[in-house]
Amino acid sequence: MVPVILGMTVIVFLILHLAPGDPVDLIVGPNITPEVYQSIRQKYGLDKPLIIQYFKFISHVLKGDLGKSILQQRPVSELILMKLPVTLEIGIWGLILSFAIAIPLGVTAAVKRNTFVDYSCMTAAMFGMSLPTFWFGLLLSYFFAYKMRLFPISGYGTWKHAFLPIITLGLTDAAITARIVRSSMLEVLRQDYIRTAKSKGLAQKVVIYRHALKNAMIPIVTLLGMRIGWIMGGAVMLEIVFSRPGLGRLMIDSILARDYPVVQGAMIVLTSSIILGNILADFLYAVFDPRIRYK
């Protein structure tokens, strides 16, 4: 976890600082004297070599200080904490919706293998995988918000504002998850203990959901860990489409304004969430498979 986050900070730091543009120009405008320009660069440490700026940034991060926004003059951690609930709202509910759809769909397709039901489920899943999330969001927004006037086209505050982003994120993620569930279930259904359970006269639902699904959960848990990490990543993209004032909007505005501390702080939060999601998946393996233990 530590080397991945450190590597990410190096990459993001270099991309931001080597890209064209200067945040000082956005703060004071073009009509300033060279003395004022230089004094502002010194104030924010932008006159120092990149290696010194980077180690100064890392030393502050290790102390829990993500810095201060150049444009808004507020602590980066305060800005992130203010925007994070907006992003988590659609991210968490989108994750719940995707698994609520994908697990029954994948299980049904596996049980009804090579039937019309299986082909229909997997065709729907393939169609969902082929849809870019942002384009699907625009499509739903056009029909249900602009044409039919059922939901607000943008904004934040009520469940109606969150409905379309959640549906967009949930359906697109469910398509990928359903295919993983089907493949995992097919592998388990071929095992001897499943045939033994059937021969004992157990009900099909008991065989499928108590025996087969539990043992098919390892690949699903792996995907769940990845999805937990990507909760904010997927929501960030939709915030631009639906004009939600979350972490994604904060990042885009900060990138355009060359507000280095905000972008770096937000990227640390996003990267950490992905890594923590994968670590959580590792621990969940032992919950679903007693043969796996961490010592």
Listed by start position, the domains of the chain span: 2-62, 76-288
pLDDT digits (tens, 9 = 90+) for 44-88: 777 788 888 888 888 888 888 888 888 788 888 888 888 888 888
As given in the structure block, the two tokens for residue 100 are 């609520």
Residue 114 has pLDDT above 80, yes or no: yes
Quote the pLDDT of residue 294: 55
Distances (CA, A) of 217 to 141, 183, 214: 35, 11, 5
**Coil, helix or strand at residue 205:** helix
Residue 295 has pLDDT above 60, yes or no: no
Residue 291 has pLDDT above 70, yes or no: no
Quote the pLDDT of residue 30: 66
Q: Report the predicted TM-score, pTM, of the whole model to 2 decimal places.
A: 0.80
pLDDT digits (tens, 9 = 90+) for 203-257: 777 888 777 877 777 777 777 777 776 666 667 778 888 888 888 888 888 888 8
pLDDT digits (tens, 9 = 90+) for 8-20: 888 888 887 777 7
CB 113 within 8 A of CB 186: yes
Dihedral angle computed from the Cα positions of residues 243, 14, 35 and 69, in that order, rounded to the nearest 10 degrees: 40
pLDDT digits (tens, 9 = 90+) for 162-216: 899 889 888 888 888 888 888 888 888 888 877 887 788 777 778 887 778 777 7
Residue 109 has pLDDT above 80, yes or no: yes
For the domain spanning 76-288, the CATH number is: 1.10.3720.10
**What distance in Å separates the CA atoms of residue 223 and residue 42, rounded to the nearest whole number?**
46
* Highest mean pLDDT of the ranges 28-37, 65-74, 108-117, 187-196: 108-117
Residue 265 has pLDDT above 80, yes or no: yes
Q: How far is CA 217 from the centre of its chain?
A: 21
Q: How high is the mean pLDDT of the chain?
A: 82
Quote the pLDDT of residue 232: 67
**What distance in Å separates the CA atoms of residue 156 and residue 152, rounded to the nearest whole number?**
9
